[in-house]
Amino acid sequence: MTTPILNNKTAKDYATDQDVRWCPGCGDYSILKQVQTVLADEGLNNEDIVFISGIGCSSRFPYYMNTYGIHSIHGRAPALVSGLKAVRPDLSVWMITGDGDSLSIGGNHLIHILRRNFDVNILLFNNEIYGLTKGQYSPTSPSGQISKSTPMGSIDHPFNPIALCMGADATFVARAMDRDPIQLRTVLAEANKHKGTSLVEIYQNCNVFNDGAFFVYTEKSTKPQSTLFVEHGQPLVFGENKDKGIKLDGFKPVVVDLNDPNVSMDDLWVHDQYDKMKATLLTRIFEDNKANDNELPRPFGIFYQEDRYLYEDALEEQIQLAKKLKGEGDLDSILAGSNTWKIN
């Protein structure tokens, strides 16, 4: 376990003297600030924290954190995160990745770190574009996306990252957005408290190559109707005046009008972040809200959480058992093996 410090810290204590080299207006600035704030609230020693990233705009993150950090290779950050946590379970380890880095070349690595359940935090910056390489479509770009590599519009069906993570049996799955810092900070704090692999998808605006991709969820004029902020134990309510709700018709989510005298709060779907079946249904609310005002709103918050044994704990138990049964072992003997040949 990392050791909390006794004196008060602020977000600035986790910032470096490096110039932050993201484009002016990039959503990454907001995410960086909220991560530093969460760490200050937690009060961990800087030397007990490690940020590991892959490749992409978001992956410059470790340079801006006054902690240990590794800027690794494309899609392979989960391998480094897993190895570090296996040998140093006492460290607070964070993985920074983007939609291209983790869902394209790194997709296989991502699903395996999720199912193994190391006690690490994964922040998936989703801007629905390849920003570092100047505007090609990504695995989360919506069908029809016009980009440098899809001038006629993408014909790919996009990934639903939250549904993918649920399918990989992740133990903590959440969604937040860069332009709602309070909600983002709340989700990050809960992710950090979780004992296991936490995955937070963060909608992040790329104002150069995909500006406005999430404006329907972030702008005052559309946000109340198009977003649903879920909270454990609370009914699913949204709208300008909180006058709309969602109920389940069997396994189908249905929007209802709370002004209707035949509808009451008791009819609504109550969010249970420990209910895997309902969380899976919640991930499937993924329509394109830019196309139709009457569609279901996009959910944000903690979708699912469960307690499950940690990979690093099980690994240590096996190591201790092996030592008990067979002794400490000798590396030279293992490398030499029992079958040798002499060549004359």
Strand (E) or helix (H) holding 195: none
Residue 191 pLDDT greater than 90, yes or no: yes
- pLDDT (tens digit, 9 = 90+) per residue, 110-125? 999 999 999 999 999 9
Q: How confident is the model at residue 274 (pLDDT cuts 50, 70, 90)?
A: very high
Burial class (CB in 10 A: 0-12, 13-18, 19+), 117: buried
What's the mean per-residue pLDDT of the chain? 93
Statement: residue 218 has pLDDT above 90: yes
Candidate from 42-46, 129-133, 161-165 with smallest mean pLDDT: 129-133
Confidence of residue 295 (pLDDT cuts 50, 70, 90): confident
Smallest Cα–Cα separation from 179: which of 206, 160, 210? 206
pLDDT-derived band at 5 (thresholds 50, 70, 90) equals low
Average pLDDT over residues 14-32: 96
Confidence of residue 145 (pLDDT cuts 50, 70, 90): confident
Q: At what angle do helices 181-193 and 28-42 cross, to 10 degrees?
A: 50
Band of the pLDDT at 81, cuts 50, 70, 90? very high
pLDDT of residue 4 exceeding 60, the answer is no
Q: Is the separation of the CB atoms in 175 and 203 below 8 Å?
A: yes
DSSP H helices, the chain, are: 28-42, 77-87, 99-100, 107-116, 161-167, 181-193, 215-218, 223-226, 276-283, 311-326, 331-336
What is the average per-residue pLDDT within 306-333?
A: 94
Instruction: Estimate the crossing angle of helix 311-326 against helix 77-87, to 10 degrees.
Output: 50
What strand order describes the sheet that includes 121-126?
Answer: 68-71, 49-53, 92-98, 121-126, 198-203, 172-177, 298-305, 227-229
The three-state secondary structure class of 174 is strand
Higher per-residue confidence, 344 vs 175: 175
Residue 342: pLDDT over 80: no
What pLDDT score was predicted for residue 195? Answer: 98
Predicted confidence band at 339 (pLDDT cuts at 50, 70, 90)? confident
Q: What is the pLDDT of residue 290?
A: 58
Q: What is the pLDDT of residue 137?
A: 87
Residues 6+ apart with CB under 8 A from 73: 54, 55
pLDDT at 134 (0 to 100)? 82
Q: Is the pLDDT of residue 7 over 60?
A: no
The answer to whether 120 and 81 have CB atoms below 8 angstroms apart is: yes
The domain made up of 11-213 is a member of CATH 3.40.50.970: yes
Lowest mean pLDDT, pick from 135-139, 211-215, 244-248 = 135-139
